[in-house]
Amino acid sequence: MVQYNFKKITVVPNGKDFVDIILSRTQRQTPTVVHKGYAISRLRQFYMRKVKYTQQNFHDKLSTIIDEFPRLDDIHPFYGDLLHVLYNKDHYKLALGQINTARNLIGKIAKDYVKLLKYGDSLYRCKCLKVAALGRMCTVLKRVGPSLAYLEQVRQHMARLPSIDPNTRTILICGYPNVGKSSFINKITRADVDVQPYAFTTKSLFVGHTDYKYLRYQVIDTPGILDRPFEDRNIIEMCSITALAHLRAAILFFLDISGSCGYTIAQQAALFHSIKSLFMNKPLIIVCNKTDLQPLDGISEEDMKLVMEMKSEALKTVIGQGGEATSDDSVLLTMSTLTEDGVISVKNAACERLLDQRVEVKMKSKKINDCLNRFHVAIPKPRDQKERPPCIPQAVLEAKAKEAAEKEKRKTEKDLENENGGAGVYSMNLRKHYILANDEWKEDILPEILDGHNVYDFIDPDILQRVEELEREEGIRQAEEENDEFEIDGAELTPEQQAALAEIRKKKSLLIQEHRIKKSNAESRPTVPRKFDKDKQYTSERMGRQLSSLGLDPSLAIQRMRSRSVSRRGRKRDRSPEGADGGDRMDVDGDTPGKKQRLSRSRSRSRSVSRPPHEVVPGEGLKDSAQKIKAIKLAKKSVKKRNKQARRGEADRVIPTLRPKHLFSGKRSTGKTDRR
């Protein structure tokens, strides 16, 4: 339906934006690079493409605008009139016409300039032509700017119009301002119309939907109408008049009996008579509202007379319809929206009347056959004249009656909840209705977890039996186990043998450890022959110990070792103090040993002796102590000057590069490079 497209009209940009959009699109979507040296045909083509592209875009966008805005003659007259009332038909048409002319003009401009471009002879000339073409197109659009702004306003307002379907079942509410029309619609539908004490609170049409007999009815609330000559009416009133004129709906004319709207019944009756021409062929109901303030029977004589007049008018419409002048209750109704008294009956009456009328019209129309073909009520053919009413057994009737009585007497859980403090305070006892073998068990709490097991996994009706079986089985197994408990003990090792085994294992692990150490420092260990034994590993004492631990007598071996060994130093001298040949000595007091011997033997047995600096260690590479002393002196001399001048030596820390490049350059893959 056309009315729903009002919300789907695309936004109309204003003049400047429009131009910006089109030009930027041309900029982006066409090739941009061109050089003087290209072939002339290529240059022409380049610029022609731009001009045509711009024209095409303008054409497309303007066409969408023109197409999407509804044509006032093509839509339902209700909407046509409504739009005319709101936006002025002429202005609307003019605006759209201007857009159309703009479109045509732009097309013409493009055509002309393309023709000129065909004969452009240089890059510069082609470019100027293109600039001129685009410029003219944009000027055309700028001129049309105010129309675009107007159309945008119209579009925004149109999108917010209520979506009224002019062909469906509609109920229209009209009357003076402040009589209670909006309150009524708030009561029967989910619409939320503003209700205020001042007149003209409702300024436009409002739609609500309500249901009756499984059908959906539109209820339209109109702004109040004042009793004025037609030409003097303002836009708001014109909206309601349009609605009244064009929509085939049931009309509820609201009457405020109490006069609290500020207008007397006389005035309202006058209004009624002036617009009764609009009620032709429409089911009309006069609704007297605000009966809580003033009941219908309590009004004055004259007012009563006026009301009766209106009623007779309304009756005429009923008679005009179908000739059932039976109940005048369906023509004149009273209600009060404040106390909600009679609201539903008014709605039902209106819906009923409208439905009847519509059905009648449909019946008379040509389409009735199509409708009738769609459904068929099958009635069984009566066999004889015997009456066969529905048969309900007595017990069922009684039960139904009892249930009805019970329903009123029974206390529901909700009542209980309300008694005990409401929803947040009281929570119902869900266990109350449990069906158990023994009612005492209703409040029992069974633990869910026991010793790391889920109790629910163990629940089994015959668990007792199975456990007994299991225990019996276990007992049997245990007995069997006791019978073949002993294990044949093999030959156990004696404690001495165990000690030997422990020793063996220790030695093996030591060997492995040593080997591992040797392997790890193999590169840096000096290969010195064993006879230059710096750490004094290979001593005769040690050998003796090891041999004796193996169970051999080491004394012979030690003796042999001693007799063959060559003492490197001071053997001859060492012998003399033992008192072998005292007279050979040159020294007078033969007992005093020389300085060297004293030093070397002073605390030999009890403490180790540190080496004097001149002593040559075999394996070092120096010939004798004199050589060693010289070497030491040379070394010291070479370092003296540097030390005196406090200069950096070999052992002092050196940083070869103060700022290595790999630490001070390069970006990080994530994060900042604040710190280096």
Partner 1 sequence: MRLEKCWFCSSTVYPGHGIQFVRNDAKIFRFCRSKCHKNFKMKRNPRKVKWTKAYRRVHGKDMTQDSTFEFERKRNRPERYDRNLAETVLKAIPKIDKIRVTREERHHKNRMKGKKEKLQKEAAKELEQSISLVKAPSALQKDPSLTLPQKIKVSVSQRQSEDNNAMEE
**Rule CB under 8 A: which of 498-557 touch partner 1?**
499-501, 503-505, 507-508, 536, 539-541, 544, 547-555
Pick the closer one to partner 1 by CB: 309 or 460.
460
Which DSSP helix (H) or strand (E) runs through 90? helix 89-117
Distance CA 301, CA 298 (A): 9
Beta carbons of 244 and 272 less than 8 angstroms apart: no
Q: Which of residues 402-441 bind partner 1 (CB under 8 A)?
A: 434-438, 440-441
Distance CA 82, CA 92 (A): 13
Q: Which of residues 157-196 bind partner 1 (CB under 8 A)?
A: none
Distance CA 76, CA 366 (A): 22
Shortest distance in whole angstroms from residue 604 CB to partner 1? 5
Q: What tokens appear for 287 in the block?
A: 């609704």
Q: Please tell me the count of residues contacting partner 1 according to CB under 8 A.
A: 79
> Out of 64, 420, 565, 643, which residue is the one contacting partner 1 (CB under 8 A)?
565
Stretch binding partner 1 (CB under 8 A), from 262-270, 310-318, 562-570, 631-639: 562-570
Distance CA 336, CA 414 (A): 32
Pick the closer one to partner 1 by CB: 282 or 628.
628
Shortest distance in whole angstroms from residue 577 CB to partner 1? 10
Q: Which of residues 208-247 bind partner 1 (CB under 8 A)?
A: none
**Contacts of residue 292, Cβ cutoff 8 Å, sequence gap at least 6:** 336, 338, 339, 341
Pick the closer one to partner 1 by CB: 505 or 518.
505
- What CA–CA distances, in Å, run from 582 to 82, 588, 598? 153, 10, 18
Shortest distance in whole angstroms from residue 483 CB to partner 1? 14
Distance CA 294, CA 336 (A): 10
Shortest distance in whole angstroms from residue 446 CB to partner 1? 5
204 binds partner 1 (CB under 8 A): no
**CA-angle at 276, arms to 292 and 318, nearest 5°:** 80
DSSP letters for 199-266:
TT---S-EEEEEEETTEEEEEEE-----S--GGG--HHHHHHHHHHHH---EEEEEEESS-TTS--HH
Q: Which of residues 4-43 bind partner 1 (CB under 8 A)?
A: none
What is the 8-class DSSP label of residue 612?
P
Kind of pairing between the strands at 453-454 and 332-334: unpaired
Q: Which of residues 439-478 bind partner 1 (CB under 8 A)?
A: 440-441, 444, 446-461, 463-464, 466-467, 470-471, 473-474, 477-478
Pick the closer one to partner 1 by CB: 119 or 458.
458
Shortest distance in whole angstroms from residue 613 CB to partner 1? 16
Binding mask 53-92 for partner 1 (x = CB under 8 A): ----------------------------------------
Shortest distance in whole angstroms from residue 488 CB to partner 1? 7
Pick the closer one to partner 1 by CB: 7 or 507.
507
Shortest distance in whole angstroms from residue 498 CB to partner 1? 8
Shortest distance in whole angstroms from residue 601 CB to partner 1? 8
Shortest distance in whole angstroms from residue 506 CB to partner 1? 9
Pick the closer one to partner 1 by CB: 122 or 513.
513
Kind of pairing between the strands at 170-175 and 250-256: parallel
Beta carbons of 176 and 263 less than 8 angstroms apart: yes
Shortest distance in whole angstroms from residue 624 CB to partner 1? 16
Kind of pairing between the strands at 250-256 and 215-221: unpaired
Shortest distance in whole angstroms from residue 622 CB to partner 1? 17
Kind of pairing between the strands at 206-212 and 449-450: unpaired
Shortest distance in whole angstroms from residue 553 CB to partner 1? 5
Pick the closer one to partner 1 by CB: 108 or 507.
507
Beta carbons of 261 and 178 less than 8 angstroms apart: yes
Shortest distance in whole angstroms from residue 430 CB to partner 1? 13
Pick the closer one to partner 1 by CB: 235 or 552.
552
Pick the closer one to partner 1 by CB: 300 or 494.
494
DSSP letters for 323-340:
-----GGGTEEE-BTTTT
C-alpha closest to that of 577 among 559, 557, 597, 600: 597
Place of tokens 């493009």: 110
Pick the closer one to partner 1 by CB: 11 or 467.
467
Pick the closer one to partner 1 by CB: 209 or 560.
560
Shortest distance in whole angstroms from residue 529 CB to partner 1? 17
Stretch binding partner 1 (CB under 8 A), from 10-18, 238-246, 568-576, 655-663: 568-576
Shortest distance in whole angstroms from residue 463 CB to partner 1? 6
Pick the closer one to partner 1 by CB: 245 or 547.
547
Distance CA 507, CA 143 (A): 110
Distance CA 290, CA 652 (A): 110
Pick the closer one to partner 1 by CB: 259 or 544.
544
CB atoms within 10 A of CB 415: 10
Q: Which of residues 304-323 bind partner 1 (CB under 8 A)?
A: none
For the chain, the residue count is 676
CB atoms within 10 A of CB 177: 20
Pick the closer one to partner 1 by CB: 35 or 531.
531
Q: Which of residues 584-623 bind partner 1 (CB under 8 A)?
A: 600-601, 604-605
Q: Which of residues 482-501 bind partner 1 (CB under 8 A)?
A: 487-494, 496-497, 499-501
> Out of 74, 231, 439, 481, which residue is the one contacting partner 1 (CB under 8 A)?
481
Distance CA 534, CA 562 (A): 19
- What CA–CA distances, in Å, run from 338 to 153, 320, 669? 39, 34, 73
Distance CA 216, CA 364 (A): 23
Shortest distance in whole angstroms from residue 561 CB to partner 1? 8
Pick the closer one to partner 1 by CB: 280 or 464.
464
- What CA–CA distances, in Å, run from 265 to 196, 242, 291, 300, 306? 21, 24, 13, 10, 8
Pick the closer one to partner 1 by CB: 215 or 510.
510
Q: Which of residues 280-299 bind partner 1 (CB under 8 A)?
A: none
Q: What tokens appear for 403 in the block?
A: 């249930």
